[in-house]
Structure 1
């Protein structure tokens, strides 16, 4: 299958592109910067905030994985984050719709629920979070991801393609985990992201599952690791952080996200845990 992957040089994008190539697909990666040497897929360096360029590059694709985005609302002006992410999403979705793409997979985020970049703690109704929980973004990044899902929905409603939006927490790799998660644990702010993460390899698997899943319309699916990134039982963490929130069973170090919808819809089952990462 011919797959266009936007954002293919980033942390998530290059894992998804590599997995797609390994699965035998014809991959065109598009990013504002080149991929690592020896990436194994065709690449075009391009600015997809230009609709004409997006149209030209997507026109021969069977499927599109849209990953390109400014990945957080920090270090850049909020207006730039929002404008860039919205332009990217609109142009890639519109180009895909006009080009006859049959399956669109969108890299969404758990930030649509308000985490972790909130100003006021999100109104949490229950834990673990499932895909029926109301969205509640507060920042430019989370809002851009939520509106991206809505743009996908609008395209699906007019019969453009079938689609899957993958809602992901913090993407991690064995190489980067200690350097990123260690400071977060020590800061006392770990609850801001619900102690959640996903291994990049599991995220890549989910994109390939989303490519083939028997989805009609638009499926919005939460994916994550099966566990939290903490050494303390999840129920104890949640009791302290959310004493007034309904808490359903989260045994052991379970994730704060309910993956039942991902299992039913995609056949997704996370295979990787930080607990198995090399220690040196």
Structure 2
């Protein structure tokens, strides 16, 4: 089976590419390298430096004719989405529509779309399941949700099969190398630099941290399962930012204490996913504990910055 991974030189996409190749799939990568890194490109994939908003994407489809598309190319930084909403919406919304049009023109069998917990906004209840109201409070949340509507419309009008995976807070090796970092990366970078980690607010805000390899597993299962469904991918466990900081401090064997700053406007206080549907439909469950995932991530950054 030939699979096209958009954003395949990025944090999550590159891990998916690696696993697909390991499993024997033929893999094509599309990435404009704005936040993806050439170092992440698997040599056994066929790489195209194209932007999903451009006409070159159609040329790629005409040449490669992928059977499945795993769509991770995106503007993924919430703060950028607030500063540059036109750029954010062009990339995430119009880029996805362009991709969908290519899927129909070249008879793609299935699209797997990487969506986000940001579509839910501030939770009305916990844990957040797939029936939770969608009420994004950031431009990023809006620009990740609107493509879901287009995907469902293309399914209804053109019979394009799909699975939408809504990710919790993903972390792991390769995160933040060029693009949006996430709190694990940001804390790790400051610990390695001998600087105190920065926490906005009181640190009691919680998140559902899921390791990138567990995200990869969900995508591979979605190749054959979860048709026509929206599925949460997380761990179902709440971890406070203070707790995360403490765990990293122990791993680094550091005496550095967090520096607390004013809360950022729009920050969600509590968030955790109900992952029952992923377990029941995909047969998926998170396999990597937070402790193991953090240690693997820190080892990657230590090796990387030692080389630098």
The CA distance in 2 between the partners of 1:157 and 1:213, in whole Å, is 18
Change (3 A) 1:147 1:178: closer
Matches within 5 A, 1:250-265: 256-265=272-281
Residue matched to 2:193: none
Asked if 1:91 is matched to 2:104, the reply is no
1:26 aligns with 2:29: no
What's the secondary structure of 1:3's corresponding residue?
strand
Q: Deviations over 1:101-126 (max 9, x none)?
A: 11110010011011xxxxxxx3x321
Superposed CA deviations along residues 203-253 of structure 1, whole A, max 9, x for unmatched, are 1111111111152xx210000134334476xxxxxxxx57xxxxxxxxxxx
2:207 maps to which of 191, 195, 206: 195
Confirm whether residue 35 of structure 1 aligns to residue 47 of structure 2.
Answer: no
Match of 1:221 in 2: 231
The separation in 1 between residues aligned to 2:57 and 2:41, in whole angstroms, is 25
- 1:57 counterpart = 2:63: no
1:156 has 2:155 as partner: yes
* Over 4 Å off, 4+ runs: 174-178, 181-185, 189-192
Aligned length: 249
Deviation at 1:43, TM superposition (A): 0.4
TM-score (norm 1): 0.80
Structure-to-structure mapping, 1:87-166, within 5 angstroms: 87-114=94-121, 122=122, 124-166=123-165
Q: Check the 8 A contact 1:62/1:100 in 2, yes or no.
A: yes
Matched, 1:274 2:283: no
Gaps of at least 5 residues in structure 2 are 176-182, 191-196, 244-268, 300-308
Q: Give the alignment's Cα RMSD to 1 decimal.
A: 2.6
1:131 deviation in Å?
0.3
Greater per-residue helix proportion:
2
- Alignment of 1:70 onto 2:56: no
